[in-house]
Amino acid sequence: MRTALLCALTLTPVTLPAAPATPVSNADVVRFQDALAAARDGDFERLAQLEKRLGDDYLMQGYLDYHRLRNGLPQIDAARVKDYMRHYRDLPLANSMERLAIARYGAAGNWKALRALRDTPPITPELACYYWQAVGEQQPQEAMDAVPAMWLTGGSRPAACDPLFDKALATGVINDDLIWQRMLLAFRQGNPGLMRYLAGRLSDEHAAKGQLLRQLYNRPDMMLSLDKDLRAAQRDALISAGLHRMAHTDTPAALAAVHTLSQRPGGLDSDIRAEAERRIAWYSIIRDLPENRAWADRWLRDNGDEELLEQRTRRAVIEQQWPEVVSWIARLPVARQQSARWQYWLGRAHQAMGNTDLADIAYRDAASHRSFWGFTAADQLGQPYALNQVPPPAGDPLTDDAALQRVALLLAADEPQLARDEWLALLRRQPETQMPALADYALAQGWPALAVDTAIHARAHNVLVWRFPRAYRDQFVNAAREGDIDPYLLMAVARRESAFHSHATSPVGARGLMQVMPGTARHVAKWLDEPAPDTDDLYDPLMSIRLGSTYLSDLLKRYQGNRLLALAAYNAGPQRVDEWLSATTLPFDVWVESIPYYETREYVQAVLSYRVLLEQLDRPDAQRRVALINASERHPGYHIALLEE
C-alpha cells in the first residue's frame, strides 16, 4: 500500500493559485548578500563601494542602514535613530532599532539620548529599568514611584535594574514591607535563591520572619506550630505560603493541615482555605491520589472548577469507569460538553454500558468536528470524516508591492527569519480584506510557511488549503521512499513541529522543519555513517527531513509500525513511552487520553489528524478511504507486551 501511495504521489500534479510573480535575479541576490555581509561585519568602506552599484532608493537600504546605526551606537544621537524609525516605519527592524538603541544608551548611561528617544516605559524589564533610570535624572520622584511595580516579582530582574533598586533601597522606597512581599512571591514561584538574597536585605527588626519563611520552604509543616504571638497578617501570610508549598510536596498532608487549621480557635481565613483547597484538589486529581479521591470529588461537585472537572473526567476515562464518565461530563460547562473530545467519550461510555442509541447520538455529534476525536467517532460510525473546509474567500487586490519584493529577496538570499519578520509586519498593517490575496500569493510563490502564518493571522481555520499547503513535497516523497515510511506522516510531523518554517527553533533547542535536537541529529548521522551535522545544518530543509525521517522510521520499527507510539516517542522520547506502556493495559483510545504530558497527548492527536487532512487535500479523488488509525493500531491492549507480539 505504501508503494502504491508513493507512486500516486509522484504522479499527482501540483497546482497553485495564480498570482503575479516577484522577479528576483541571481544578480540581485548576490548584490544584497554582499552588501548585507559587509554591513554585518562593520566593513562600511566596502559597503559604501557596494552601495554605489545599488543606486538611490534601494529596496533593501533599511537593512544596510540598520547595521550602520547599530555599529555607531551609543555614540550617535537619538535624532538619527528616530529618523531611521520614521523613514523605515514599515520595516520590522524599526522596532528592533529602538530596542537596541535603548539598551545601548542605557548601558552607557546616556540618559539624555534615551529620554529623547522614548517618552513612555518599554515593556521588557531590562529596557524599562533603563528608561526609569533616565527619568530619574530629571524627575527622581516619578522614577521612584515606578519602582514597586518593577520590584514585585517572584523571579529575578536583569542587572539593568540594580542601580534603580539600589537607590530605592538606600532611600527607603523599597522598605521591609516590599522586601517581604517579594519574598512571598519568590516562595510561591519556587525561587529559594532569591528568597535568600532578599532575606539579607531585611532590617534586623524583620530578619527573624525572613528566616522563618525560608525554613518554611523546606519544612512547610512548621506552619502548624507558629508562635501564637505573631501578628495575624504575618501568621496568615505564613500559613498561606506553607499550604501552597505543602500542596505540591505532600498533597495528603496539606489536606490534613487544612482540616487541622480549620478546627482551631478562629479557624482558617476563608480566602486562604479556598486557594489552598483548589491547589490540593488539582494535585489530588492529576496525581490520582486515592486517599484524597472522595474529598476531591466532593470539592469538585461543590465548586465546579471547569479545568479540574475536565481532569477528573479524564481520570474516569483512564480508569474506564463508564458511569462516572457520563456523570462527570454532565457537570462540564455546556460548551465543553459539546466538544468532539467529550462527545466521543460520552459515546464511548454509553457504548460500553450498552446504551446503543445514546452512543450513536454522541458519536454523531463528535463526528461533525474536524479533529482526532471527531475522526475517531466517524470511524465508530463508519462514515466519512468531516473536513468542514471552505474555499478561500474573495478579498482586495494586493497593494504593498515593496514589502512583497523584500520578502522575495530575503528568502532568495537565505534569510528566512528576516523574511518572516517582514511578512508578519505586513500582515499586521494590512486590512483583513487583504488576507486572502496575501495567502494565495504566498502559495503561488512557493512560500508555504507564510501561507500558514497568514491563515493563523486571519483566523481562517476552515480554509484548509492555506493551513495545510503542499510544502517540500518532493523532498518528503523521496525521504519516504528511502525510509519506507508514509510521506504524509512526515509532512504532518513537519506541519506540527515547525508549521513548515525551516529556521524554527524551539525553547529546548530543537531545530528546523522536523525540529530535530542536535544530540538526536548526531546519533542519526552515526547510524547513517555520515559526519555529525553542525547545529546550523539542521536548518537546511533537506538535512532536517533526512534526519527526522530516519529517526521516525527507526521509532516505527521499534514500535512495530504503531504510529501512536512512534509519534509519542518522537515528541517525548522512547524511554518515557516504554514507561507508560509498562504502567497498565489500555485500549488504544484510552491510552491516547492517558498520555501524561499534555503536549505529547495533543501532539499525537494533531499529527495523525494533520496526516488525514494532508492526504485528503493532496488526493481528493483517491478511491481508497483515508484512515486516521489502522487496524493494528486499534489494539485493545496497549501494554509493553504489545511490542513482543
Catalytically annotated residues = 497
3-state percent helix, strand, coil for the chain, nearest multiple of 5? 70, 0, 30
Rounded to the nearest 10 degrees, the angle between the axes of helix 487-498 and helix 598-618 is 130
Task: Please give the full DSSP string across 242-258, using - where no structure is assigned.
Answer: HHHHHHHH-HHHHHHHH
Q: Return d(Cα 122, Cα 515) in angstroms, integer.
A: 33
Which spans in 368-511 are helix H?
372-381, 401-412, 416-429, 435-444, 448-457, 464-467, 473-483, 487-498
162: part of which helix (H) or strand (E)?
Answer: helix 162-170
Nearest to 256 by CA among 214, 224, 208: 224
Closest CA to 35 of 50, 21, 49, 24: 50
**CA 527 – CA 547 distance, rounded (Å):** 10
Q: Which residue has the cell 510521506?
A: 487
The whole-angstrom separation of Cα 575 and Cα 596 is 14
Which residues does residue 586 pair with via DSSP β-bridges, in sequence order? 638
* CA dist 48 → 54, 236, 374 (Å): 10, 68, 61
Closest CA to 281 of 304, 314, 260: 304
SS3 at position 514 = coil
Which residue do the cell numbers 493494528 mark?
Answer: 632
Integer Cα distance of 555 and 541 in angstroms:
21
Please report which helix (H) or strand (E) contains residue 259, including its range: helix 251-263
Q: How crowded is residue 402: how many other Cβ atoms within 10 Å of its Cβ?
A: 10
Q: Is the previous residue joined to 252 through a cis bond, with omega within 30 degrees of 0?
A: no
> Comparing C-alpha atoms, which of 569, 519, 524, 573 is closest to residue 545?
524
> Whole-angstrom distance between the N-terminal and C-terminal Cα of the chain?
22
> What cell was used for 228?
501564637
CB neighbour list of residue 150: distance below 8 Å, 6 or more residues apart = 125, 128, 129, 132, 157, 161, 164, 165
As given in the structure block, the three cell numbers for residue 150 are 518593577
Q: What's the CA angle centered on 575, arms 571 and 580, to 5 degrees? A: 85
Radius of gyration for the alpha carbons in the chain, expressed in angstroms and rounded: 30
For the beta carbon of residue 141, count every other beta carbon within 10 angstroms. 10
